[in-house]
Structure 1
Amino acid sequence: MAPERQHRRPWLIYSFIFVELVIMAGTVMLAYYFEYTDTFNVHVQGFFCYDSSYTKPYLGPEESSAVPPALLYAVVAGIPTLVITVTESVMFLLQYTSKDFDTREKTVVTGDCCYLNPLVRRTVRFLGVYIFGLFTTDIFVNAGQVVTGNLAPHFLTVCKPNYTALGCQHTLRFISHQEACTGSEEDILRARKTFPSKEAALSVYAALYLAMYISCTVKAKGTRLAKPVLSLGLMCLAFLTGLNRVAEYRNHWADVIAGFIVGVAIATFLVVCVVHNFKGKLLLNETLEKDTLSSAPMTSLPRVESPLQKYIASQIWGADRGYMAVEQDCQESHRLR
């Protein structure tokens, strides 16, 4: 039974890895179609003539923002990767040098021919979940933007509607057709995709995931104050990113708050339900527990006998006593003779 179970285990591992790779590939492809193709048409939302909510000034393309997309994507992808990799390496080296590792196996068997270092295993696990969450956040945000088609605060500035041709004699006239705009189609399309705010969602997701990683993983002495300061600093940067979107009239407050909610929800779910608050153990801890159990003396464990065992023991003890009594009687009669 044991060899059969051992033979089936590699196939289960390979199946799980294959399923996870398929899910990751599907997530990346879906995010690509949302971001760089016109597969999904944006909902055309109407507006009222001279609506003051959409007449804010247009401060230029996204690249001219104080937090341009290239900088934001580089930060949310690079800093967590660097922090997690460096932290896991330092923790593994400290544990490696502080324990006797000569007689212990330093790799984890994942199949008949594959071996994985515990450092690589933890790093790949935490980073893989983080990257998956980034693409998931992007998909949720793009789906919300496509479905709602919410207008940016500067929409009428880039739309440039011909109010005379539209018959806007008063501000209560509602314009619902797409041909009402005469401005740049690219700017108009971008101004229709604001709810929820992608920048707010990605920034708060990265900040919260990294803050929870630092709080749950780093256990060194003297970090009781450093961990809260780092965590609050990361959350403050994410909050400032959302404020910048509102200050530059690129998003409404509702867009930024919705983005924060999406990022916080995805980060919390992945940390609590997927990586279990980063409770993965290093290999040394696992081997220490196994060795402790294997070296425990058997006499220290209490022994529980069943009623059948007690009955058999009593019968054997009674038979032994009867045999000894007969033998004593024979010896006594022989002595008297």
Structure 2
Amino acid sequence: MAEKRLFSILGDSISTFEGCNPEGFRVFYEGERQEATGVLAPQDTWWAQVVGALDGELLANGSYSGSMVEGAGFPAGNSAERIAALARDGRAPDAVLVFIGINDYGWGGADAQAVGRGSAMPVCLDAAALGEEREPGLAPADAADRFGAAYEAMLARMRVAYPRAEIWCCTLCPGRVVGRDGSTFAYRLRGVHLDAYNDAIRGAATRQGCRVADVRALGCDYEGLEGTHPTARGMRQFAALVLRAMEAERTAGAPTVLAESIAEAATLPAAAFDALPSAETCKEPSCIGCPHAGATGSQWLLACNKGGE
């Protein structure tokens, strides 16, 4: 019997779960938040469902709650420590699933995260030297370009560390506040559209020879507790979207060692999903100062109340 392929996960809070991440890494899905979301066990997470559907085995989950890709050092996704966390007990992954970047979008850049004293700001920074704490505002015009450069640097580090691993990059996907009938995602939170970040992910992945699981291209929302962190239903929806996006990449001709597993997973009941179509209901240039915005300060929410009321 052939050995199962080993998968590692690199992500943010959406991909954490109590007891599944390295010691000292911040975790979102623990305690009361498990009860609030209904994500009660590792098998309820999107990544466990995808790995299981692909007949794989989890090697390591190097996700860190609140982390961005861009940053001066750990826990930024492009730091050496985060890449090292994808290996375990001297073993390297056969495949890596990457789903990170929503905090880059939410903060609008590493500088804003630092001066806003984000919970996952790089540990190498001296908070006292940063001056007075300030809430984030509009993102700089080149925010998505900076994100793309950091994302590509992260992938380059990964390729050097794990040259035999196949890397799959998931694009960022809008969430929908639980209980709402319409889309609630804030597409221009700080003035730079979500899809500029997704274009950056696609470009970085292509240049680094990685695969893209383009969940955003499927045009669906997943259910989120506050519009960002998936509920148990949202986890099932997102897992199905990832599998469908991987199948789309395979059928488009992208070479992949997972081809057989992806094709088989596409026929499983788990590949069916009840995610609802996304809709961009607000055309304001940003959410800053908008009465429909959920929150735009340091405790930002990716929620627009204009279309989801």
Which structure is higher in helix share? 1
TM-score by length of 2: 0.23
TM-score, normalization: structure 1? Answer: 0.22
Larger relative contact order (Cα-Cα within 8 Å, sequence gap ≥ 6): 1
Larger radius of gyration: 1
Of Structure 1 and Structure 2, which has the larger fraction of its residues in strand? 2
